């Protein structure tokens, strides 16, 4: 039955003109409005901040410095989103980004990303999910094929079961215990976008591969894989994908450095 899904999306794309093209050229079904999604992102973000303990000022300054350097390189239209980033106190090496530009990084991720360039690859990847409208695409696809369009059209009932499910699909469901992994296609796309962004901001793109090696090493003890990794399947392929785009990223990086973009974000 798996072939039914792309078929259904193609049919919808042809009939309702809600199709868009992702930054890497995939066609996407986007049914929700940006305004609607961004408002939901903002709401979920303020909820996260109420429910989870945030880390101290030093960690916050460090992560903010990296995010600022990357956001400064975005096209004007995307730069104007309400980009915000917070560090949450949690050993789980996790990071997320919500529609609207609301991002979080756990202190556990700061232990695995051992320098500014590695952390920039995490932040770049998360920004990539936002730029490519992955939450909208996933919710639209789910709705088109299973949830039913009625869920999407009722924004009032976010506390209802359907609303909570929608929040989960959008990647905002942590507080409800519903977090769905992005697809492999979304992960690869966020990797490619993130790699380019970090390089353009003057962070060393080769460190993205080191981050994955650190992730792998962190699971060497046979424990449960870090959440960020377990929701990001296919590690070997991920590194290959990064390597495949490395020449282009290195060229961007050299260009950024020679233009004076040399971010210096001291690690606390
Ligand atoms: Zn991801």
- Give catalytic status of residue 126 as yes or no: yes
Measured in Å, residue 199 CA sits from the centre of ligand 1 at 18
pLDDT for res 199 = 98
Catalytic residue (one of 73, 91, 126, 254): 126
Indicate the pTM of the whole model: 0.84
Q: Which residues surround ligand 1, an ion (CB under 5 A)?
A: 190
pLDDT for res 167 = 65
State the Cα angle at 122 between 242 and 76, rounded to 5°.
Answer: 95
Measured in Å, residue 140 CA sits from the centre of ligand 1 at 18
pLDDT for res 48 = 81
The pLDDT tens digits for 244-267 are: 999 999 999 999 999 999 999 999
pLDDT for res 195 = 98
- Alpha carbons 41 and 239: distance in angstroms, whole number: 30
The pLDDT tens digits for 206-251 are: 999 999 888 888 766 555 556 566 555 566 778 889 999 999 999 9
Per-10-residue mean pLDDT, the chain, length 268: 50 61 83 83 85 92 98 95 94 87 93 97 95 85 56 49 61 52 83 97 97 81 57 70 96 98 96
């Amino acid at each position: 039955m798996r072939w039914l899904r792309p078929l259904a999306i193609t049919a919808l794309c042809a009939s309702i003109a809600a199709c868009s093209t992702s930054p890497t050229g995939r066609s996407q079904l986007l049914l929700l409005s940006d305004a609607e999604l961004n408002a939901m992102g903002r709401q979920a973000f303020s909820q996260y901040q109420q429910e989870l303990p945030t880390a101290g000022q030093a960690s916050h300054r460090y992560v903010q410095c990296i995010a600022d350097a990357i956001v400064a390189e975005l096209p004007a239209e995307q730069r104007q989103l309400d980009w915000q980033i917070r560090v949450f106190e949690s050993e789980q090496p996790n990071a997320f980004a919500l529609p609207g530009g609301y991002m979080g990084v756990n202190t556990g991720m700061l232990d695995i990303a051992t320098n500014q360039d590695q952390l920039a690859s995490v932040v770049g990847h998360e920004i990539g999910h936002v730029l490519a409208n992955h939450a909208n695409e996933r919710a639209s696809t789910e709705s088109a094929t299973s949830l039913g369009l009625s869920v999407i059209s009722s924004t009032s009932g976010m506390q209802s079961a359907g609303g909570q499910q929608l929040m989960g699909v959008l990647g905002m469901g942590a507080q409800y215990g519903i977090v769905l992994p992005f697809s492999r296609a979304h992960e690869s796309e966020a990797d490619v976008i993130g790699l380019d962004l970090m390089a353009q901001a003057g962070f060393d793109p080769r460190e993205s591969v080191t981050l994955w090696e650190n992730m792998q090493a962190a699971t060497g003890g046979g424990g449960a894989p870090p959440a960020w990794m377990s929701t990001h399947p296919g590690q070997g392929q991920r590194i290959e994908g990064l390597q495949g785009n490395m020449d282009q990223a290195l060229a961007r990086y050299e260009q950024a450095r020679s233009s004076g973009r040399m971010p210096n974000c001291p690690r606390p």
